[in-house]
Structure 1
Amino acid sequence: MRWILALVPSHPPARLRRLCHLAACALLLCGQGVLAQSGALKSTPMLQEQAPGPADTLPTFVRGQHVQGQTDVRVGIEGDAELRRGDTVIHADRMDYDIPEDRARASGHVRINRGGNRYDGTLLDLKVNAFSGFFTDIDYALLENGGHGSAARMDFIDRERSVAHEGSYTTCQKDDEESWQPDWVLRARTLRIDKVEDTGTAMNAVLEFKGVPILATPWISFPLSSKRKTGLLPPTLALDSTSGFVYAQPWYWNIAPNRDATFTPTLMTRRGLGLETQFRYLEPRYGGELGLNFMPDDKLRQRSRWLASVKHTARIGSPWGDLGLSLNARRASDNDYWRDFPQRGSSSYNPLDVTAERLLPADANLNWSGGAHTLSLRTLKWQTLQDASAPITPPYDLLPQLHWSYAPSALRSGLDLRLDADHTNFHGDRSFYNQPNARRSYFVAQLSRPWLTPASFVTPRLQLHATRYGFDAPLGSGQRSVTRVLPTFSLDSGLVFERDARWFGRDFLQTLEPRAFYTYTPYRDQSMLPVYDSAQTDFNFASIYTENSFGGNDRIADNNLLTLGVTTRLLDPGTGAEAVRLGIAQRLRFSDQKVTMPGMPPVSEHLSDVLLGAGIHWTPQWGLDAVFQYNPKERRSMRATIAARYTPAKYHTLSLAYRKQEVTGPYTVASRQVDLGWQWPIGELLSLAREDNARRSGGRWYGVGRINYSLPDRRVVDAIVGAEYQSCCWTGRLVLERLQTGLASSNTRILLQLELKGLSRLSFGNNPLASLQQNVPGYQTLESDTPAPSRFTRYD
């Protein structure tokens, strides 16, 4: 037989207290009667949890096989003892509850469940409401992040803070085997848990991985949630043939919810000591970040080294329109900085594009918009980090650029109008250019009238482009200024036919979409004009239906051509998803194109290459995209790209691409490359394990990588090959990376990373995760699929 007793706080008025005592006595009598009538029942039903409220006003329920005591003084419980108040439940073999002191003493098999956090031990002395006291020989499990461990003694400071003595901490999931040992565990003489700050702090700690101590520290702090916190971040270790042993130890400062800073002292045994800093801020109307990397004395270069960066965006509202400001500036101390300190100070670093690290902008943009008008003032000045063995031509500086545009939302008779005016002062290093600097002004007016129906569209467009150049030195003809005015007419039209179709047992909505685009621009000799911001556009399905085959404003092609194309698509009638897309397009030129980029011959072919495109996404798992540029005169493809992708599940992706490029001019290099990328469980690739086996073993190996192979050279251009292991509580990555940095140079390195869930991420060398995300197509970061727990998952 079990007894249940309800206790109320001692501070209510005496009359209310007497009424509650009477109700408690009635509850006792009812409970005894129910037990007597229902002898087959083993225990009384659990009482429903009280409505939320202050813990000191909630009633206390105790029950057990034998309950005795004195009203408002104490309660003694023997056998299956239980005390419940709000979200706190205490189980024990024996329990004494001191009512005036709100103090519970329990022994035997003691278990506490407070809001889903569990504590098991042998001896408990606890003030229930304040949740202060001690617990001996304890095993604990935290609900929010899955952390658990044991301790010889745990002192509860209050409801949110506790201190474990001779304790351990891990997030590895415990199985039912008696010999189970966590893959990693943090053992400490003193372990403090603070749920207010969501941090854990260990004193005199040792971190063990697979039973081997890998880190000993007198003090370490770690997060108990994803909440930001001030403290040390995981260090980075590296071994470089030039810089020697590298140790970087970042310290994070959580200044406010909208501001933070990171300071990273870095030791390079062959160079010296440096400091990397980053400050970030975010306000409702502005935000940005500041960075400075500084090494006061580089022993190898015999000078101080630095890299400074500024990013800032701001938006100011006014009665006259929105005013915006953006700044993006980076500057380095010397030309060798990009080579000596790769990936430093650049969050968008791409190892396949070394030029991006050698061109550092200082870009300031002030813009205003009001109604249909926009106005911007921009200055852009480049710092070019030159390499004597591989010099690059720096872009022109814009000092400044003033641009105005006007695009009314609606005009009469369905007309669309857009006006653009621009004045730019181009300034460049004359040692790199065989042309003068210039001030260029242009005005572009575009007027169009689209006629749109569900089955067709026709859009005639008129464009007038007026340009004037003023040079700081005479041209070869002696001119110091040149003016150019060119009109352009274009007519874009298309039809859309639809029908129901059935292919390979599936119903589709099939479309047939023929398109015709005509454009005419008269010839004006532009060979004397320098080139400041123009380039030949790529030949693809987007550019083939445009008026100008050049980007920028220094060249306007003299076109008299007609582009014909047709596209057919298979659409899922239920979702509208595109399963198949096939297209073909070709230009028919009625006269030669005489305006070209410097060094390029006129275009005399009246029939352009044929563009063929296909996209097949029959199922969400499979995908195929292909584009061919076929020369009918030579009967061969000038360029081809074929890319296939297979993604049957998460962390399962295979991609294969073939790219071919023939020589089409002085700016194009012939190449044929095969690109293979993958992320796949190794056990499935080798047919050694399946999903259920991997889950039972508690972990899984993944192969990941990308290989780019040049067929003409018969060699690997870029290669990233690695392996990842995902367990319940840790993830390991080993990556071998070889990336081409020049025509005859490459960079090879080994990247290691150990990510301990709920504790830290340790890296040797640079971050392999960033390398995989940037270079492996379709790569997905290994993450836990466990949903955020609710305290009712451990309801007691």
Structure 2
Amino acid sequence: MQAVWCSWRHGGRAALLAGSALAAVSAMPAAAQTSTDLPIRRPGMVAPVLPEDLPKIAPIRPPPPGPDDLGQNGFYIEADNLIRDDKNNIWIARGEVEARYQGHVIRGDEVIYRVGPGTVTVNGHGQLINPNGTVLMADHLTLDDKLRAGFARGFSTIEPHNIRFAADVAIRRSTEVNELDRAVFTPCNVCASDGRSVTPTWSIQASKVIEDHTKHIVYYRNAVIQVKGIPVLYAPVFWHPDPEAKRVSGLLMPEAEISKDRGFSYQQSYYWAISPSQELYITPQINTKVNPLLDMEYRERFYSGQIDIRGGYTYEQDFNSNGHRFGDLTSRSYILADGSFNLNNYWSWGFTADRASDRYIFQKYDVQNVYEYQSQYTALSQQLLSQIHATRQDVNSYLSISTLSFQGLSSSDINGTYPLVAPLVEAHYEPRGAILGGRLQMTASGVLLNQSLQLNPTSVSPTDLTEPGIDSRRATGEINWLRTFILGNGMRLDPFLDVREDFYDVNDRAAPGGFKTYGRNVSNLGLDFSWPFMRQSGGATVVLEPLAQLLIAPQADNNPNIPNEDSQAFNFDETNLFSINRFAGYDLVDGGERLNLAGRATVDWGDGENAQLMIGKVLRAHPLAPVVQPLAGRTSIYPVNTGLNATSSDWVVAANTTPFPGVSFFGRGLLNNNANIESQEYGVDLAYDNARGYLRYDSDNTQPGGRISNIEAAGDFFVTEHWGFSLVGVRDLEVQEWRLQDLGLIYRNECIRVEVVYQQQGTINGALGKSDAVYLRLTLATLGGQRNNDDDFR
């Protein structure tokens, strides 16, 4: 077959002016062709083929023809010579021929139209450009008068998404089926910037190719997959989804990994497009050291919502990070399911059902994307959460009713100490219109907790770590009123009143007396103050803003007999400096007269370039009273090294800046009154085409367990157009150990991405100690990538 060129010849108006003929006649009808929507990533089936001397690939696609104003039946043709043979009923156009009809363009050295049989023959440098921009080229091209069927020699085509086919012979049997002999397929570039032909990165060559757009499949016979022109895989029969199809069943790209615990691991996903609204992933993982794992995921979309159910199963002993097996041979499985549905314009409901029979199964089998919750409530890392919730929401009210159940996965977790939450009720109402000139909000909340076990604070041996748990009920009612005044000099005053009542019923089955009832009032009368000063300076907008919040409230009533379930985690920073109650939940409260102060400076240079600095602290009239009994592992309400329990807190400092697009910095910290740093966090984010990543450093001395110091970095960086590297690193600076190390080598171009990654896990969890692994990530344009790979060429 004659090689196809890497640029197309465009016969133009100059040929017409030099002596072409122009005719507007009644011509053959053309079949309408429409382009499909942009497809999502689809599976590619690996079963590849081996001929030789295959054709070159077609050139880049010219732009689609523009409007020709010819009307429905108008026909335009220009050429150096035009012959009308009425005797033989033939039209012949020679020399730089270009014909247009209903958005189609035909070009060639010679075009012959036989009126009787209704055929169009193009000889020499033939091109057919369809209205959707698809380009067909051939040395010889014969089409019927409807452009639905035809025959070509020396054929090539450029389809949407940079897909190229070339063949010695092409037969178009209908608008849905094309048959190619001695053909090649590739989505890769085959032309250099200077017009030279280049070998594609990868291609599929075959003795015969059939494009079946009805079944959305491309079939190959005697297929061979070539990488840079070198055959790497042969199969007598091979097929993959039609690149124009949105969803087609088939195999995804496989994933290979070598690790100490599982040996060589091969993971192959099969994608089943059950219906337009249903799909199923079936992913067996084959390992050389341990038994296989079967992973499945089912997804369905309804008119009112969606469900996603994922599960895995294996039958195996326990094993450690070196692949040493021990213990009983038993079933091990997990399920991760979630769903959400709209019942009507106001009511919706949803659920998650997450459980694992082996708490280490996700680490052992490298199961990805475990803790990505999309539901109403989320759990911490290394926790699974099952829930069911119903919600009603309109313009001025909100109601939520939920049930929650937790499972801890770390080696230190005792699951009996996690309470069953059944139910949790939250309601919010905001009347329309102003109340006393301001906004009124009413909130109600209630929860019932059932805890089978609690940690024994007097434990001296592993046999008495726990004791009977605590059952508790809480009911809370809260009213909040806020009004805003903006004075003529720009000063803003926001007086507010917040009144809250809590009622607790507590049954501590390990304590004498058992069932007890507690009540408390948590009320705050306050005023928010801000006075921004703005100035234009050197092309920048500068805003200086003093901030203050005055609160008058009774002393905090934190009864040590009330279990702390929803306020255990706490960090003091700029996000909660002006919060009435800095705790996330209801069980712990702040109180007393206090003054929150801060100053904020902002500079905005436009185009997303800005900087901000904020400094503040909390002043109290009286220190917070110590807790008589240990509460959540501490004897004070707030962590000791924040200063929040005293009359003067630590200084809160926070800054961030985006000096130019693509780069941003941030920092925050706590400085005590002796200028010692109690906590600090710094970071930088990069977002460029060839460099994306982040760097973080944090050190925290405010938590009960002692100082925590870590440095973390991750990113992809390309040193050339095609070659780059990836890295992920987490280092514990207190013990001077790496918790995680990833280093990868990346190659990418317009049609492929290959990443080889070395990973070292340094976290010890149960029998799983440090581990090493090497794995391969591969994504091919039009054939898709691995199931958990985010790279997509579409």
TM range (shorter): 0.7 to 0.9
- Is 1:639 aligned with 2:679? yes
Question: Using a 3 Å threshold, how does the CA distance of structure 1 residues 381 and 409 change in structure 2: closer, same or farther?
Answer: same
1:737 aligns with: 759
Q: Does 297-306 or 508-517 show the bigger shift?
A: 297-306
1:30 aligns with: none
Q: Distance in 1 between matches of 2:316 and 2:500?
A: 58
Per the alignment, in what secondary structure is the counterpart of residue 704 of structure 2? coil
- Is 1:489 aligned with 2:524? yes
In structure 1, which of residues 587, 603, 626 is the aligned counterpart of residue 667 of structure 2?
A: 626
TM-score by length of 1: 0.79
Q: How does 1:463-612 map to 2 (within 5 A)?
A: 463-471=499-507, 473=509, 475-476=511-512, 478-502=513-537, 505-524=538-557, 526-572=559-605, 579-594=610-625, 596=627, 597-602=631-636, 605-612=646-653
1:325 aligns with: 349
Asked if the contact 1:120–1:138 (Cα under 8 Å) also holds between the matched residues in 2, the reply is yes
Q: Distance in 1 between matches of 2:202 and 2:612?
A: 51
Per the alignment, in what secondary structure is the counterpart of residue 344 of structure 2? strand
- Is 1:236 aligned with 2:270? no
Superposed CA offset, 1:76-134 (max 9, x none): 44555555433334444444432122112344443333333333333333213143122
Asked if the contact 2:750–2:793 (Cα under 8 Å) also holds between the matched residues in 1, the reply is no
Bigger helix share = 1
Superposed CA offset, 1:517-576 (max 9, x none): 32423254612222232225211112222233433222223433222222122234x67x
Q: Distance in 1 between matches of 2:75 and 2:558?
A: 94
1:314 aligns with: 341
Post-superposition offset of 1:380: 1.2
1:406 aligns with: 429
Q: How does 1:60-99 map to 2 (within 5 A)?
A: 61=77, 63=79, 65=81, 67-70=83-86, 73-80=89-96, 83-99=99-115
Q: Distance in 1 between matches of 2:665 and 2:134?
A: 50
Residue type of the partner of 2:725? G
Superposed CA offset, 1:420-445 (max 9, x none): 33332212231655463323122222
Asked if the contact 2:70–2:76 (Cα under 8 Å) also holds between the matched residues in 1, the reply is no
Residue type of the partner of 1:588? L
Q: Distance in 2 between matches of 1:782 and 1:406?
A: 45
Asked if the contact 1:161–1:192 (Cα under 8 Å) also holds between the matched residues in 2, the reply is yes
Residue type of the partner of 2:186? T
Post-superposition offset of 1:638: 0.6
Asked if the contact 2:694–2:713 (Cα under 8 Å) also holds between the matched residues in 1, the reply is yes
Asked if the contact 1:266–1:275 (Cα under 8 Å) also holds between the matched residues in 2, the reply is yes
1:440 aligns with: 473
2:459 aligns with: none
In structure 1, which of residues 753, 756, 759 is the aligned counterpart of residue 780 of structure 2?
A: 756
Post-superposition offset of 1:286: 1.9
Post-superposition offset of 1:180: 2.4
Per the alignment, in what secondary structure is the counterpart of residue 623 of structure 2? coil
Q: Which runs of 5+ in 2 are unaligned?
A: 1-18, 30-64, 319-324, 456-465
Question: Using a 3 Å threshold, how does the CA distance of structure 1 residues 375 and 671 change in structure 2: closer, same or farther?
Answer: closer
Q: Does 362-371 or 173-182 show the bigger shift?
A: 173-182
- Is 1:278 aligned with 2:297? yes
Q: Distance in 1 between matches of 2:283 and 2:514?
A: 56
Q: Distance in 2 between matches of 1:47 and 1:237?
A: 48
Q: How does 1:618-767 map to 2 (within 5 A)?
A: 618-633=659-674, 635-645=675-685, 647=687, 649-653=688-692, 655-662=694-701, 664-667=702-705, 669-683=706-720, 699-742=721-764, 745-761=769-785
Per the alignment, in what secondary structure is the counterpart of residue 338 of structure 1? helix
Q: Distance in 1 between matches of 2:544 and 2:454?
A: 56
Residue type of the partner of 2:704? P
Asked if the contact 1:168–1:188 (Cα under 8 Å) also holds between the matched residues in 2, the reply is yes
Q: How does 1:40-439 map to 2 (within 5 A)?
A: 49-51=68-70, 53=72, 59=75, 61=77, 63=79, 65=81, 67-70=83-86, 73-80=89-96, 83-115=99-131, 116-142=133-159, 144-173=160-189, 174-175=191-192, 180-194=198-212, 200-217=218-235, 218-225=237-244, 227-272=246-291, 274-295=293-314, 302-317=329-344, 322-343=346-367, 346=370, 348=372, 358-369=382-393, 372-385=396-409, 387=411, 394-430=417-453, 432=455, 434=467, 436-439=469-472
Question: Using a 3 Å threshold, how does the CA distance of structure 1 residues 65 and 8 change in structure 2: closer, same or farther?
Answer: same
Question: Using a 3 Å threshold, how does the CA distance of structure 1 residues 474 and 673 change in structure 2: closer, same or farther?
Answer: closer
Q: Distance in 1 between matches of 2:87 and 2:315?
A: 75
Q: Does 340-349 or 730-739 show the bigger shift?
A: 340-349
2:482 aligns with: 449
Residue type of the partner of 1:499? M
Q: Distance in 2 between matches of 1:551 and 1:118?
A: 61
Q: Distance in 2 between matches of 1:655 and 1:154?
A: 51
Asked if the contact 2:447–2:475 (Cα under 8 Å) also holds between the matched residues in 1, the reply is no
Residue type of the partner of 1:456? R
Residue type of the partner of 1:637? I
Q: Distance in 2 between matches of 1:87 and 1:578?
A: 47
Question: Using a 3 Å threshold, how does the CA distance of structure 1 residues 494 and 196 change in structure 2: closer, same or farther?
Answer: farther
Question: Using a 3 Å threshold, how does the CA distance of structure 1 residues 60 and 177 change in structure 2: closer, same or farther?
Answer: closer
Q: Distance in 1 between matches of 2:506 and 2:92?
A: 100
Per the alignment, in what secondary structure is the counterpart of residue 145 of structure 1? helix
Post-superposition offset of 1:704: 3.0
Asked if the contact 2:24–2:74 (Cα under 8 Å) also holds between the matched residues in 1, the reply is no
Residue type of the partner of 2:491? A
Superposed CA offset, 1:614-638 (max 9, x none): 22333334433221211114x3111
Question: Using a 3 Å threshold, how does the CA distance of structure 1 residues 6 and 741 change in structure 2: closer, same or farther?
Answer: same
TM-score by length of 2: 0.79
Residue type of the partner of 1:644? V
Question: Using a 3 Å threshold, how does the CA distance of structure 1 residues 610 and 208 change in structure 2: closer, same or farther?
Answer: same
Asked if the contact 1:188–1:205 (Cα under 8 Å) also holds between the matched residues in 2, the reply is yes
Residue type of the partner of 1:131? R
Q: Distance in 1 between matches of 2:694 and 2:769?
A: 27
Higher RCO (CA-CA < 8 Å; seq separation 6+): 2
Residue type of the partner of 1:293? G
Post-superposition offset of 1:186: 0.9
1:793 aligns with: none
Q: Distance in 2 between matches of 1:428 and 1:742?
A: 28
Question: Using a 3 Å threshold, how does the CA distance of structure 1 residues 88 and 360 change in structure 2: closer, same or farther?
Answer: same
Q: Distance in 2 between matches of 1:357 and 1:582?
A: 31
Post-superposition offset of 1:719: 2.5
Post-superposition offset of 1:607: 1.6
Question: Using a 3 Å threshold, how does the CA distance of structure 1 residues 264 and 452 change in structure 2: closer, same or farther?
Answer: same
Asked if the contact 2:315–2:329 (Cα under 8 Å) also holds between the matched residues in 1, the reply is no
Q: Distance in 1 between matches of 2:67 and 2:507?
A: 87
- Give the aligned CA root-mean-square deviation in angstroms: 3.6
Per the alignment, in what secondary structure is the counterpart of residue 414 of structure 1? coil
Per the alignment, in what secondary structure is the counterpart of residue 577 of structure 2? helix
Number of positions where the alignment pairs a residue of Structure 1 with one of Structure 2 = 701
Asked if the contact 1:338–1:358 (Cα under 8 Å) also holds between the matched residues in 2, the reply is no
Q: Distance in 1 between matches of 2:340 and 2:633?
A: 41
Asked if the contact 1:518–1:561 (Cα under 8 Å) also holds between the matched residues in 2, the reply is yes
Q: Distance in 2 between matches of 1:202 and 1:582?
A: 63
Per the alignment, in what secondary structure is the counterpart of residue 453 of structure 2? coil
